[in-house]
């Protein structure tokens, strides 16, 4: 029981110290003419007063973009092709038609520089790959480098994945570590 009391006291002291340091930091930021702004996601950032409205506007736009990506991901995960495709082209034609019903501006293979994602919705690139083998996973990283120069968000859709699980999980971890917010979706076969 005594150890529990000590642990609780230690946690309380650490909490008080953290609060004290946060107050100290906030006061220092205010002395430098900065204002506290809490993003829609709850993150605190300090910005010059004259840029506060611009930062708030950008935050709202980014939140809307995240909502669109989340809606797209939800719809893609719900997608079930009408038949079992052996061809990537036929698969992504059907996926694009499905998405166009909810996202009328969904377009197929828009050329942007040397980058050409399979489907584009606003500023979101969707790369479709399948049947997906180990060599196909290798080409995706190259495409992500190019797409990230032209699109704010990228979604990778894999179908008929024919890769051993360990290799796939290693690849997925590497993609997320390297590219951060890229969403990877595996569509189960029929």
Alpha helices in the chain (DSSP H): 2-31, 52-78, 88-102, 134-147, 165-179
The rounded distance, in Å, linking the Cα atoms of 45 and 68 is 24
Residue 16, classed as helix, strand or coil, is helix
Query: Rounded to whole angstroms, how far apart are CA atoms 21 and 27?
Result: 10
Domains and CATH numbers, the chain: 2-63 (no CATH), 65-187 (3.40.50)
pLDDT along the chain (190 residues), means of 10: 83 92 93 92 92 93 90 93 88 91 79 74 92 91 90 93 93 92 81
Task: Judge contact between 155 and 76, C-beta under 8 A.
Answer: yes
Q: In what order do the strands lie in the sheet with 153-159?
A: 107-108, 119-121, 124-129, 153-159, 183-187
Tell me what pLDDT residue 35 has: 93
**Closest C-alpha to 184, from 156, 148, 165:** 156
- Would you call 33 helix, strand, or coil by DSSP? coil
Q: What does residue 183 show for φ and ψ, rounded to 5 degrees?
A: -100, 130
What pLDDT does 18 receive?
93
Q: What is the pLDDT of residue 1?
A: 62
Predicted TM-score of the model (pTM):
0.75
């Amino acid at each position: 029981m005594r150890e529990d009391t000590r642990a609780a006291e230690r946690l309380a002291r650490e909490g008080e110290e953290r609060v004290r340091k946060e107050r100290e930091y906030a006061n220092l930021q205010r002395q430098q003419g900065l204002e506290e702004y809490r993003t829609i996601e709850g993150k605190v950032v300090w910005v010059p007063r004259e840029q506060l409205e611009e930062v708030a506007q950008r935050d709202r736009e980014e939140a809307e973009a995240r909502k669109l990506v989340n809606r797209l991901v939800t719809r893609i995960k719900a997608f079930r092709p009408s038949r079992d495709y052996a061809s990537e082209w036929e698969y992504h034609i059907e996926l694009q038609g499905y998405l166009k019903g909810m996202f009328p501006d969904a377009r197929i293979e828009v050329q942007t520089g040397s980058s050409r994602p399979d489907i584009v919705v606003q500023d979101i690139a969707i790369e479709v790959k399948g049947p997906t083998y180990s060599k196909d996973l290798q080409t995706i990283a190259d495409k992500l480098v190019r797409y990230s120069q032209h699109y704010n968000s990228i979604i990778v859709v894999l179908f008929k994945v024919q890769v051993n699980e360990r290799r796939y999980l290693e690849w997925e971890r590497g993609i997320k570590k390297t590219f951060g917010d890229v969403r990877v979706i595996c569509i189960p076969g029929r």
